[in-house]
Amino acid sequence: MPDEPIALTSQSMPTGVARIGGRTAPAARIDGVDDRVDADVAVVDTGIDASHPDLNVVGGINCSTSDPTAWLDANGHGTHVAGTIAAKDNTIGVVGVAPGARLWAVRILAADGTGLLSWYICGLDWIAAQRDPSDASRPLFEAVNMSVAKWGADDGACGAANADLLHAAICRLVESGVTVVAAAANDSGPASERVPAAYDEVITVSALADTDGKPGGLGGDRCWSWGGYDVDDTFADFSNYGPDVDLIAPGKCIWSTKPDNTYGWSSGTSMAAPHVTGAIALYKASRPGATPAEVKRALLYLGTTSWATATDPDSTHERALDVSRIGPMGSVAMSASPATVGVTDAGGSFPVTLTLSRATVLEELTLSVTGIPAGVTAGLDRTKLFGFEATQVTLTVAVPEDFPAGTYPLTVNASWHGTRATVIVPLVVGLPPSADSPAPTAMRPRWRSRRRPTRRACRSCTSRPVSATPTPCRAPRRRDSRADRSCS
C-alpha cells in the first residue's frame, strides 16, 4: 500500500509574532478569520512563491534578468520573509504580523542570493514609480522590506558626497512617501559598515534571540543557529549593532513560509526586519498619509525595553518592537477649562487648560491656535503630543491694557494625518469675567490721573432731555481702530 503525506491543518503563531504582541494587536485581528490588512508591501529580495496558499501575493517585478515577469522565488529567502510580514490568518500554516496584507515581489537577487547594484536600483525605482490607484498623490506601498546588505557607509547626503547610487535611490523612495525597513546584517559588527542599514532614512533592525514568544528570559537556550545557542531575550550573537540600529525584533529560529507550500526555520537579521515591516503595514493601513518620519517615531514610541539590554554589544540599547497597541486610527476629543476667557479693560495674562483624550488611538498630534487678534498673544506650552493617555496642555492668552472690547473666538486645532479636531475658546474683552474665568497671572498697574471717569461716562447723556424717568448713562462704545478683525 503506498504511503500518504500528512500535513498540519491548524494554524500556529510563530514565536516572533507572539513576542512582539501580535496576538493582541487590535489592527491585526488574529482570530482565525481571514480578514486581511489593507496595505501593500514590497519585498525586495529573491522573489516570492505566488502559489503558496498562506500568502496574498498580488504582483511583482524582476530586475535580476531581462524578463521582468520572472519574479517567482528560486531561493526561498524572500518567501520566508514574506510569511513573517503577512501570512494569512486562515487556520492553516502560520500567521504573519499583518495578516493577508498584499505582497509584491521585487526580485533583485538571483537564485544563489546574490545580485548587482543595478538590480537594487531597478527595483527601488520601480517601487517609487507605483502610485495608489485611488489617490495618485500617495505611493502604492505602505512599506518596503530590504533584508539585503552590502558594504558601504552613510555620507549623510543621500549619496551625493560619496557617489552612492543605492543611497540616492533609497532617498528618492523615502521622499516619495514610502517607509523602508533594512536588516542590520549578520557580521557581529557595526551596522554603520553595511548599507542600507547605515542610512538614516531607513528603519534599521537588529535581531533578538527569543525562544518562547514571551518577555522575561525564561525560554532557555533551545534554539541552535549560526553555530551556537543564544539565551532567550538576549541580543543575537550574529547581529550587527550600533547607533544606526533603530529597533530590535525576533530573528533567531523564526518559523515561516517556504516555497512549494512548505514551512521552515531560518535565522538572521533578515528574519527580524520583516516583523517591523509588518508593523508598519498595520500602522499605515488606517493612516495612509503618515510620513516615513512619523511612522518611525510611532514605532519607537511603542517599543519596549523588555529584553536583556545588557547583552547588547554597545551602549545604544534599541527598543524592542511592540505592536500590541496598534489599532485603527480614531478620533480625538478636546475640551477647554475655562470654556470662555473674560477680560476687563485692565488686560493681563490668562491660562486655559486644554484636555485631549484619545484613549483608544495612538496619534502624533500637532497643536496650533488660530484666530488670534492683532495685539493679543496666545501660546501653547506644548505643540506636539504623542501617546494614548488624556493629556493636558496650557494655553496662555495675554491681552494688553485697553484692548478694544468685543468677542474674539480663539480656535485651538489638533491635527493628525489629515484629520483635525478643534475647540473654540471665546475671548471676551471689556466685560466682567465670568465666575469660571481664570484670574490673570500678571497685570500691569493702571494710571488714570489724566482721565475724568465721571464726565466721560455720562458724556453720551448730556444732550438728552431730562424726563421724569432718568435715562441710564452708558459709556460710549470704543471704536476698533484695527483695519482687519478677521481670524488669521
Q: How confident is the model at residue 479 (pLDDT cuts 50, 70, 90)?
A: very low
Instruction: Give residue-wise pLDDT tens across range 300-333.
Output: 999 999 999 999 999 989 999 999 999 988 788 8
Cβ distance 312 to 305 under 8 Å?
no
User: What are the CA-CA distances from residue 248 to residues 197, 363, 460 (Å)?
Assistant: 13, 22, 76
> Looking at 206, 256, 266, 270, which residue is catalytic?
270
pTM for the whole structure: 0.82
Task: Return the half-sphere exposure (C-beta side, CA atoms, 13 A cut-off) of residue 59.
Answer: 8
Return the pLDDT at 480. Answer: 41
347/21 Cα distance (integer angstroms): 53
Q: With pLDDT > 70 as the criterion, what percentage of the chain qualifies?
A: 85
Return the pLDDT at 62. Answer: 99
Return the pLDDT at 329. Answer: 86
Q: Read off the C-alpha cell for 225.
A: 543557529
Lowest mean pLDDT among 171-175, 309-313, 413-417: 413-417
436/373 Cα distance (integer angstroms): 23
Common-topology check for domains 15-320 and 333-445: no
Instruction: Give residue-wise pLDDT tens across range 130-142.
Output: 999 999 999 999 9
Sequence ranges of the domains in the chain: 15-320, 333-445
* Residue that is written with C-alpha cell 514610502 in the block: 178
The question of whether 45 is a catalytic residue gets the answer yes
Quick check: helix, strand or coil at residue 378? strand
Residue type, 9: T
Residue type, 376: V
Residue 77's beta-bridge partner residues?
none
> Looking at 52, 77, 80, 275, which residue is catalytic?
77
% helix, strand, coil for the chain, step of 5: 15, 30, 55
Cβ distance 190 to 240 under 8 Å?
yes
The residue-averaged pLDDT of 63-87 equals: 98
Return the pLDDT at 486. Answer: 36
In 371-405, the DSSP E strands lie at 377-380, 384-387, 391-399
CATH number of the 333-445 domain = 2.60.40.10
Question: To which H or E segment does residue 208 belong?
Answer: strand 203-209
Query: Whole-number mean pLDDT of the chain?
Result: 88
Angle between helices 269-285 and 292-302 (to 10 degrees): 110
- What pairing do the DSSP bridges indicate for beta strands 391-399 and 348-357? antiparallel
Q: With pLDDT > 90 as the criterion, what percentage of the chain qualifies?
A: 76
Q: How confident is the model at residue 359 (pLDDT cuts 50, 70, 90)?
A: low
Asked if pLDDT for residue 473 goes beyond 70, the answer is no
Return the pLDDT at 403. Answer: 94
Give the class (CATH, top level) of 15-320. Answer: alpha beta
Instruction: Give residue-wise pLDDT tens across range 219-269.
Output: 877 777 767 788 999 999 999 999 999 999 999 999 999 999 999 999 999
